[in-house]
Amino acid sequence: MNTLIRFFDKVEDKARAKLSRSPIVYGVIGGTAIVMFWRGVWHTADILEQSGGMWETLLGAQVSMVLSAIVLLLTGLFVSFFIGDRIILSGLTREKKLEEKTESEVRAEGTLLIDIYKKLEHLEKEIATLKNEKV
């Protein structure tokens, strides 16, 4: 099982690396696959609902909506999926969404993060030196 997971993980990494160079193609492929997946889920639910019994009740429109909302809320996916973490965080910090930032702003942010990382590394070394001096 782990071998299968590692295989798909490597294939995914390679696919993302290649497709990220062509965002429009990536979007078309990804969008099509997502729609096809949900189409399959929808039709499967319809087939099960038409079979009657418990499935008819569980997969009816109202019960299905309530049950899925409960599951999404319990797993924390409701807000994440419908709004997105980045939008919430950018709203709380009053910063622009990534799509609204210019390339220079994104580069400046990256440079700032690198500077912060270097300072943090320097502080860790100083702390380690101070600990060694006390011992």
pLDDT in tens, 86-108: 666 666 666 665 556 677 777 88
Examine residue 13 and state whether it is found in any structural domain, yes or no: yes
User: How many domains does one find in the chain?
Assistant: 1
Please tell me the distance from the alpha carbon of residue 2 to that of residue 8, in angstroms, as a whole number: 10
pLDDT in tens, 16-53: 888 888 889 999 999 999 999 999 999 999 999 999 88
Please tell me the distance from the alpha carbon of residue 132 to that of residue 135, in angstroms, as a whole number: 5
More confident residue, 95 or 66: 66
SS3 121: helix
Q: What is the pLDDT of residue 97?
A: 59
Average pLDDT (6-16) is: 89
Residue range(s) defining the domain that contains residue 41: 1-50
Q: What is the pLDDT of residue 43?
A: 95
Q: What is the pLDDT of residue 99?
A: 58
Could you tell me the pTM of the whole model?
A: 0.52
Q: What is the pLDDT of residue 16?
A: 86
Examine residue 30 and state whether it is found in any structural domain, yes or no: yes
Q: Give residue 53's region: left, alpha or beta (phi > 0; psi -120 to 50).
A: left
Examine residue 28 and state whether it is found in any structural domain, yes or no: yes
Helix extents (H) in 59-102: 61-75, 77-82, 85-93
Examine residue 104 and state whether it is found in any structural domain, yes or no: no
As a whole number, the mean pLDDT across the chain is: 85
Examine residue 18 and state whether it is found in any structural domain, yes or no: yes
